[in-house]
Amino acid sequence: MRPDSRMGKPLYFSELDNESRQRLIDVQQRGEALRATKAELRRRFAGSMAWKTRSERDYLYRRKGGVDKALGPRSPETEAVYEAFVQGKAAAEEREKGLRHRLSGMARVNKAMGLGRVPTLVARILRRLDDAGVLGEQVCVVGTNAIFAFEAHAGIRFDSDLLATGDIDVALDARRNLSLAAKSMPDGLLGLLRKIDPTFGAIAGSFRAINASGLMVDLITPEPRQRMTTASRQKRRLGAVDRDDVEAAEVPRLEMIVDAPRFAATTVGEDGLPVWLAVTDPRWWAAHKLWLASEPTREPIKRQRDQTQGEAVAAMLARHWGTVDLSDSALAAISAPIREMLRTSFARAVEEHGESPEW
């Protein structure tokens, strides 16, 4: 956090210049196009189609997930289905190839311009979770790494001391259907991490995986509303439940951000490539941080960091987010005292950085 040389007041971030802003927009647009294309291939064009002869007649079969399904005998209708699938899949694959090539070509300049923000290993983990179809659905990113999504949307860069972290917090929403994760992540969260870095291991009986360089991936989930109950193992795991894996730790008051409206943005990794982030609405995120800072049982060093991060995001909302609704109806899910903390930080940022004439 830097002091304002003119006013002696904290500056939590700096604005992107026009060239960087336009470059970021270009990366975001192409990154989102690539993500949509990959999703189309994964959902609409997964598997293959082929004609097979049965009892001297040709039948169209769709093979998906190792299972063959008959779509009917050869006819103008099934031939049209086959052609649409084959041509559509080929076009999507060509589009994916072209977008990957274009983004790879942009990566070096992105890094040189300082657009790369998300640590490379964290970015790779997030891309894998997104490819598995669980990011933004069964899980979202909470904690410090969520700030990267906020700054990408606002067109700013938060100061590096606000972003320094040695872990990534992944919040599991056990209310959502976890069957998708069981299918797309058969080896669980730990298996996914080991495909990226084989040194990842789970700390016995813990919610945390850690690799040889010390990066920690924490899986957390809200504490049950009925305090005397504990969620089943299936609802505390992401993917397979019949093997060793991390199990989500139940965290008090985490529902404040897991239940909150979701926010998503495409940012850039330190490798220069796009990263899609699904996080919590920044109003809820800032409110949660300010609440943590007020908790007397929390470690003082963490409370100080929570306060600074909460105030920084509130200042971003005040100065670079456009219209921000802080009404009771909009924030009804947040308790009144915590709403007031957020409004106070927001109002302070407006007052401290309000426009005034230069005499």
Task: Count CA within 13 A, CB hemisphere, residue 104.
Answer: 6
The angle formed by the CA atoms of residues 133, 138 and 142, to the nearest 5 degrees, is 110
The values of phi and psi at residue 5, to 5°, are -65, -20
Give the chain as a 3 state SS string. CEECCCCCCEECEEECCHHHHHHHHHHHHHHHHHHHHHHHHHHCCCCEEEEEEECCEEEEEEEECCEEEEEEECCHHHHHHHHHHHHHHHHHHHHHHHHHHHHHHHHHHHHHCCCCCECHHHHHHHHHHHHCCCECCCEEEECHHHHHHHHHHHCEEECHHHHCCCEEEEEECCCCCCHHHHHHCCCHHHHHHHHHCCCCEECCCCCEEECCCCCEEEEEEECCCCCCCCCCHHHHCCCCCCCCCCCCEEECCCHHHHCCCEEEEEEEECCCCEEEEEEECHHHHHHHHHHHHHCCCCCHHHHHHHHHHHHHHHHHHHHHCCCCCCCCCCCCCCCHHHHHHHHHHHHHHHHHCCCCCCC
Report which residue type is found at 203.
Answer: I
The pTM for the full model equals: 0.89
pLDDT at residue 110, as a whole number: 97
pLDDT at residue 119, as a whole number: 96
Q: How far is CA 308 from CA 92, 318, 326, in A?
A: 45, 15, 20
Q: Which of 238, 209, 40 is nearest to 138 (CA)?
A: 238
Q: What are the mean pLDDT values of the chain's consecutive 10-residue runs (359 residues total)? A: 53 93 98 97 94 94 92 96 97 98 97 95 97 92 96 96 91 75 82 95 87 95 68 67 80 90 97 97 97 94 95 96 95 95 95 56
pLDDT at residue 351, as a whole number: 87
pLDDT at residue 356, as a whole number: 43
Distance CA(348)–CA(325), nearest Å, equals 16
pLDDT at residue 233, as a whole number: 52
